Amino acid sequence: MKILIIIDSLGSGGAERSTEVMADYLFENNVNFEILCLDHREIGVQQKMQNKGYNIKFLKNGSFLSQTSQIAKIITSGNFDLVHSILFRSNIRTRFAKLKTKFVHLESLVNTTYSKERFSDAKVNQTILKFYKKLDTYSSKWGVDHFHSITNAVKGHYVEKVGYDSEKITIIPRGRKPILDDYEDRPVRPNSEVVQIINVGRHEFQKGQIFLLKAAKKLKDHGLSFIIRIYGRDGSVTPELKNYIKENSLEEVVLLMGYHNNIAELLLNSDIFVFPSLYEGLGGALIEAQSAGLPIACNDIPVFQEVVRKNKNANLFDSRDTETIVDAIGELIENAELRKSYGIKSLLHYNEKFQEEANNKKMLDLYKRLV
């Protein structure tokens, strides 16, 4: 079996990191695969994967039709048994490549692309998004043989919004590499220390970090002792975040740390993981946080209800209601025993649902079934 994985880039997002995890599994199981990227990325997993010796190619810059033709030629000359595309730009180009050559196309659905929150993003061109939705609806009927969805919520989104055939969608959560084998392996942190809160996500409207900053101001005003560190590359809302921190004198309690590639270590040296994202396909950072035995505070959206366990290992809040964020985080800041209880259950939940090995095996089984 020979697989071609097509993805927009090997950057720093969850889909990219999941692709690295799957590539490692395919390599370990002697499955022949190549990776084709639309773009180069200096920040992310690209260099790491190249250092592993994986066969990674890049499309030449060009128009949509030019890149579609390039994909078709690569598929034809490579004699691939299955083509697996990931992320919207790669998905659409791969669909149209089917007009030029025959192949089995598996497409991953990793986000709620046409959600209400996405349409409310002022930085998203609404006219173009509506056009993409029509293009998606049209091309999905003949350009895809099967879909892989990472959650029930994502599957339901595409069935409802775009009219995908539910019988052609297989749900397999993305796995993550384990960080802890046992909760007791976590570094011991004295209860007297300032509570360390971590958020991981690029600075975009989707990630909802401005709402976390508004809650941080109130938590500070309440006299709670904490530091919030936000890890992720700069993006369209970075100036807004920096301005809010400065205007509200939050420099001592909120730190924008930029992109780091040692997230596992950073999670192990934190006390609470906070995730205010407005929409996600899965929220891979939530999985990593659970594998590090962290208590969670996150937005109460359907996708996250599949990824964490409300009032078991996570306090849920409404990202657009600052008081609910304050309550969710404040309870964890003030209660070390609750943090420990949630942390233990986080690791248990990760082991039950998001083990890398189990979910990668399901993906490989899907590959084999489609071939």
Q: Return the amino acid letter for 49.
A: M
Helix axes 238-247, 209-221, angle to 10 degrees: 10
Alpha helices (H) in 145-292, listed in sequence order: 152-161, 209-221, 238-247, 263-268, 284-291
Residue ranges of E strands in 272-353: 272-275, 296-299, 314-317
Let me know if domain 2-175+355-370 sits in CATH 3.40.50.2000. yes
DSSP letter at 173 equals P
Say if strands 105-109 and 146-149 run parallel, antiparallel, or are unpaired: parallel
CATH architecture of 183-353: 3-Layer(aba) Sandwich (3.40)
Question: Can you give the residue ranges of every domain in the chain?
Answer: 2-175+355-370, 183-353
* Structure-token pair, residue 156: 């339901």
Write out the two tokens for 109: 């659905």
Q: List pLDDT tens digits, range 26-57.
A: 999 999 999 999 999 988 899 999 999 999 99
User: Would you call 227 helix, strand, or coil by DSSP?
Assistant: strand
Cα atoms in the 13 Å half-sphere on the side-chain side of 182: 2
Q: Kindly state the average pLDDT of the residues 191-220.
A: 93
Residues 97-141 pLDDT 10s: 999 999 999 999 998 889 888 888 877 888 999 999 999 999 999
Q: What does DSSP assign to residue 253? A: T
Q: What is the pLDDT of residue 126?
A: 87
In tens, the pLDDT along 119-130 reads 888 778 889 999
How crowded is the C-beta side of 11, counted as CA atoms within 13 Å?
16
Contact criterion met (CB below 8 Å) for 296 and 273: yes
Q: What average pLDDT score do residues 306-312 get?
A: 95
Q: What are phi and psi of 86, to 5 degrees?
A: -140, 130
End-to-end CA distance of the chain: give it in Å, rounded.
Answer: 8
pLDDT 10s digits, 151-199: 999 999 999 999 999 999 999 988 778 899 899 999 887 666 799 999 9
Long-range Cβ pairs for the range 100-105 (8 Å, 24+): 100/68, 100/69, 100/72, 101/72, 101/75, 101/76, 103/75, 104/145, 104/370, 104/371, 105/143, 105/144, 105/145, 105/146
Taking the model in full, what pTM does it have?
0.81
pLDDT digits (tens, 9 = 90+) for 322-340: 999 999 999 999 999 999 9
Is it true that 2-175+355-370 and 183-353 share their CATH fold? Answer: yes
